[in-house]
Structure 1
Amino acid sequence: MASQNLVSTKLQIEAVLTVTPFQATDPRQTLRVSVTEPADSGIFRTCLNLILYYNKVVDEDSGWIVAGWIKESLSKVLAEQPMLGGRLRRREDGNGELEVVSNDSGARLIEAKMAMTLSEFLGSKERSEDAEAELVFWKDIDEQNPQYSPLFYVQVTNFECGGHSVGISCSILLADLLLKEDFLKKWADIHSAELAKNDGPNTPIFYLPNLKKPSYSAALYPSSSNQNKTWGKTMMFKISDHQNINLENESGRKLILVCVEDAEHKVGVKMASKFPVFFRGSYDLLKIESCTKHGNKIVGSQLKLKNQISTARWDDLGANEIAFGQGNKPARVTNWIGSVCDGLVMATPSSSVEGTCELNVIVSIPCEKLI
C-alpha cells in the first residue's frame, strides 16, 4: 500500500458535480434485480473500472477543457442510456427486491489534478493497481438507502504536462451496458459532434479554472472507497452455441464452469468454491445466481464444450479507439473489476455478425486466492 499512499499525496480532487440527462426520461425504464439468495454486500460494492490515458496533442488542450465538454456530452449520452443516470432502490411492493430505475438522478463527474506528469506516472514504479485506483472514483452503494447512491462515475485527472486521464466506474449491475451497448463509442461521437459545433476545443461553459472560488477547500469533497476494494484478475470469453446459453439448465452452468477453470489455469489464481453469476437474460431483468464448483476436472462430454468457447480481449470492446475530440486516441487503457470478494462471473448475450446468439462471459477472480 506504500505506493498508493505516495500517489495519494499527489492527487487532489478539485470539484464534484452531478450530470443529469439532457432531457427527462419518459417513460422511465426499470431493471429488476432478481437474487436467488439474500443479497450480499458485493452487489453494492462491485464495480467495473476503466481508465483512458491521453497525451496533450495541441497547446490549448487540457483536462480542464476536456472535463468541461464531457459535462455537456455526458448529459446527452445519458439521455440515450438513462439507466446509467438512475438509482438502485427497493421495489414498492414490499417484498424487499431490488430494481434500478432511470429516475434521472444523474452520474457524478469529478475533476482532479495529479502533481506529476503523465509519463512519470505511467513509467514510475509507483504506478500499480492501487495507484491507478486513484484515477477512478467510486463510492459504495448505501445498502440501507441505495436510492441516494450514484451508479456511474467519471473522473478527469489533469497531469502537470497537460495530459489527462478519463476514469470511469460503473456498478456491476449496469456494467453490461458499457460492454454490450457500444456506449463509449456513442459518447465519444457525441463529444466530437459538440466540439465540431464550436470549431474546436473552445472554452466550454463549465471550465473549472474560471469558476473556482478562492475560498474552496478540496477537503470538503468525499474520498473514494475504491482503494479499499479487492482486486480481481479478469478474463473474457465468448460462447458461440446459442442453444447452451440458458444458465437455468445444466449445460449452461457447465459452460460457465469451463470458462472459470480456463481462467484459473491461465491467470494462476483460484476462484472460490461458490461465487455469484450476473446474467442479463433480458432487457429488464438481471439475475444473480450462485454457482458452485464441484472440484471435478472437465472430462468426457464436457471437453466438447470447450469447442464452443473462445478467449476474448478487453481490446475487443474498442476502448483503445475512443477519442474525446481532436482524434486523440488513448496512449494507454487499463480496466479491472473491483471488490470481487469470492470472485464473480458476468454473462451477457449478444448477437454476432452472422445473426446467431453469443454469450459474453467475464470471469473475475480475487488476486489473493493464489493456486
Structure 2
Amino acid sequence: MAAAKPQVHIESVQTGLPTRVVEPDRTRLIAVAAPPLPEAALQRRLRAVLYYRADGAPWEEGIWVKESLGEALCFFPEMAGRLRRRADGSWEVKLNDAGVRFQQATVEATLDEFLVDKDRVRKEAALAPWIDVSAEDPDMCSLLFMQLNRFQDGEYAIGVSCTALLADPLSLTRFLLEWARIHNEMKEKNKTVLRPMMQYMAYFQRPEICCSRIRSFPIDSAASAADGVHAQTVLFRTSAAGAGAADLRALAAACMRRATEDLGVDGASRFTLVVAPGDPARGATTVETSLAADGMKAGHALEAAEWSELGLEELTLRGVKPVHVSCRIVAGGDEGLVVVMPDGDGFLVTATIPK
C-alpha cells in the first residue's frame, strides 16, 4: 500500500482587522493605461515564506499575530482594503477596514524535511495560501493572506501572499517589518487585551477539544498550473535618470531582455508593467498590460540585485531571525511581469519570465 501523502491541516481561519477605524472615503488609485485590466492581472502576487526555529511554544504566536496585525494595519490601512473597479476602467483600493485573512495550520513534515525537499518552491503554496480575486465581486476578496504554519518538530513558518496591485516587494517588506516590530513590542510589554488570551486558554490546556480541523489537503496539491510555479524572477537596480512613462517602459523592456539572457530561457514576447508610487500614501500605482518586449531601448545601466536586499532576513520573531526566507512573484499565463519600485535615488526592478 502506498504511503499517505503528507497533509496540511487548517485549524483556524480568522480576519485581522485594524484596531482603529480609517477615515471615511479614503482610496488609493490603480491607474490602468489601457483598460480593461484582465482578470489574470488581479491574481499576480507576491509570496514570502519565513522559516523559524522555535525557542518555546510557537503556537502561542497565533494569539499575538492577530492582535499585532490589527495594530500594524492602522499604519498600512490599504492592506485591509478591497479592490473595486472605477467607471473609467481603472481600479482603486477602498480603505474600508475589511481586514486580512489570517490562518493557522499544521504541516505533516519537519522543518528540515520541508527545506530540503527538491519540490519545496511549488509546495510553499500550501504555506502561503491564496484565493483568487473575483473580477465580478472584488470587494468580497481579501488582498493579503497570512498563515502561521507549525511543523511536526515544533518549528514554524510565516507565509504571506499579497496581490501585486496592492503592494510591491519593497512596500510589502516594510509592512511585514513594521508588523514584526509591533508584534515583538506587544509581547514584551504585554499590551494584548485579556479577551484573546481567555479565548485560547482551553487550547493550551486541552488542544484536542479546541483544534477541530477546518480542512486538510496534501501538501503537494496546493499549487495549480495557473500559479506559474516555474516562472523565474530576476532583480535589478538602476538610477532614476529619465523617469518618464516612456523611459520606464523602455527600462522594463531592457530588464526583460536582460533577465532572459541571465536565465538562458526564451523570453515572453509581451509583458505587464506595474509602477509602484514613490509615496504609497499619496501616489497611484500604474499598470500597463501587453507591452512588447522588443523595440524599446533604455539607457539605464542595470545592476544585478538579490531578494536579500529587501531586508526580510531581519524580520525577528521570538528574538530570533529566520533560518531561511523564500520570496517569489507568482505570475501565471504566458506574459511576463515587470515591477518598477522607486528606492532611494534609483529603482529596484523585478522581471518575471514565464516558462
TM-score range, shorter chain: 0.7 to 0.9
The whole-number CA distance in structure 2 between the counterparts of 1:280 and 1:178 is 9
Structure-to-structure mapping, 1:1-371, within 5 angstroms: 9-35=6-32, 36-57=34-55, 60-62=56-58, 64-91=59-86, 94-125=87-118, 127-176=119-168, 178-179=170-171, 182-198=174-190, 205=197, 207=200, 209-210=203-204, 213=209, 216-219=212-215, 226-228=223-225, 229-231=227-229, 232-240=231-239, 242-246=240-244, 248-249=245-246, 251-281=247-277, 283-290=282-289, 291-294=291-294, 305-307=299-301, 309-325=302-318, 327-341=319-333, 342-350=335-343, 352=344, 357-366=345-354, 368=355
Q: CA deviation at 1:187?
A: 1.1
Instruction: Flag the 1:31–1:177 CA change in 2: closer, same or farther, 3 A.
Output: farther
The whole-number CA distance in structure 2 between the counterparts of 1:289 and 1:32 is 14
The whole-number CA distance in structure 1 between the counterparts of 2:190 and 2:211 is 32
Q: Determine helix, strand or coil for the equivalent of 1:244.
A: coil
Instruction: Flag the 1:238–1:73 CA change in 2: closer, same or farther, 3 A.
Output: same
Task: Please say which of residues 99-108 and 207-216 is displaced more in the overlay.
Answer: 207-216
Q: Is the 8 A contact 1:340 1:365 kept in 2?
A: no
Q: Is the 8 A contact 2:128 2:159 kept in 1?
A: yes
Q: For structure 2, which runs of at least 5 residues remain unmatched after alignment?
A: none
The whole-number CA distance in structure 2 between the counterparts of 1:329 and 1:148 is 35
Q: Is the 8 A contact 1:88 1:99 kept in 2?
A: yes
Instruction: Flag the 1:214–1:194 CA change in 2: closer, same or farther, 3 A.
Output: closer
Q: CA deviation at 1:90?
A: 2.1
Q: Is the 8 A contact 1:134 1:227 kept in 2?
A: no
| Deviation per residue, 1:179-231 (Å, 9 max, x gap) | 3772222111101101111399x99626483588569442399x997544112
Q: Is the 8 A contact 2:81 2:98 kept in 1?
A: yes
Q: Is the 8 A contact 2:14 2:102 kept in 1?
A: yes
The whole-number CA distance in structure 2 between the counterparts of 1:13 and 1:212 is 14
Q: CA deviation at 1:338?
A: 1.2
For these two proteins, the number of residue pairs brought into alignment is 338
The whole-number CA distance in structure 2 between the counterparts of 1:310 and 1:226 is 32
TM-score by length of 2: 0.86
Q: Is the 8 A contact 1:74 1:187 kept in 2?
A: yes
Q: Which amino acid aligns with 1:311?
A: A
Q: Which amino acid aligns with 2:45?
A: C
Q: Is the 8 A contact 1:177 1:183 kept in 2?
A: no
Instruction: Flag the 1:6–1:48 CA change in 2: closer, same or farther, 3 A.
Output: farther
Q: Is the 8 A contact 1:110 1:137 kept in 2?
A: no
Q: CA deviation at 1:257?
A: 1.8
Residue identity (%): 30
Q: Determine helix, strand or coil for the equivalent of 1:173.
A: coil
Instruction: Flag the 1:96–1:225 CA change in 2: closer, same or farther, 3 A.
Output: farther
The whole-number CA distance in structure 2 between the counterparts of 1:365 and 1:194 is 41
Q: Is the 8 A contact 1:138 1:225 kept in 2?
A: no
| Deviation per residue, 1:322-369 (Å, 9 max, x gap) | 0123x211011101111342110011223x2xxxx3122111111x2x
Q: Which amino acid aligns with 1:287?
A: T
Q: Which amino acid aligns with 1:275?
A: F
Q: Which amino acid aligns with 2:274?
A: F
TM-score by length of 1: 0.82
Q: Is the 8 A contact 1:340 1:364 kept in 2?
A: no
Q: Determine helix, strand or coil for the equivalent of 2:232.
A: strand
Q: Determine helix, strand or coil for the equivalent of 1:44.
A: helix
Task: Please say which of residues 180-189 and 79-88 is displaced more in the overlay.
Answer: 180-189
Segments ≥4 residues shifted beyond 4 Å: 210-215, 223-226
Instruction: Flag the 1:199–1:120 CA change in 2: closer, same or farther, 3 A.
Output: farther
